[in-house]
Amino acid sequence: MPKLRSAKKTLRNRIKATERNRAIRSRMRTAIKRVHSASDKATAETALQNAISVVDKTARKGILHKNTAARYKSRLHRFVQIMA
């Protein structure tokens, strides 16, 4: 446990940020899973638009690196394109 007052505050803030980041990351993963579990192309395209939006927001908040977000979006887009 931290002894200094500033270290205690830093710990409190880190815990809050970790919880916030975990929720945002979970929302992103759920959006990606919805694209992969879509039954037809039309549903997948709708889910893709939502997933791209969520991935962009996650990157904008600094939880994902922008290149990682670009890679996720590229793979999702390619997945939807090759759907029958």
Q: In this structure, are residues 28 and 58 in contact, taking their beta carbons and an 8 Å threshold?
A: yes
- 10-21 pLDDT, tens digit per residue, is 999 999 999 999
Two structure tokens written together for 43: 């549903």
Two structure tokens written together for 4: 């200094």
Rounded distance between C-alpha atoms, residue 34 and residue 44, angstroms: 8
Neighbour tally for 31: CB within 10 Å: 21
- 23-82 pLDDT, tens digit per residue, is 999 999 999 999 999 999 999 999 999 999 999 999 999 999 999 999 999 999 999 999
| Full set of structural domains in the chain with CATH | 5-81 (1.20.58.110)
Q: Give this prediction's pTM.
A: 0.86
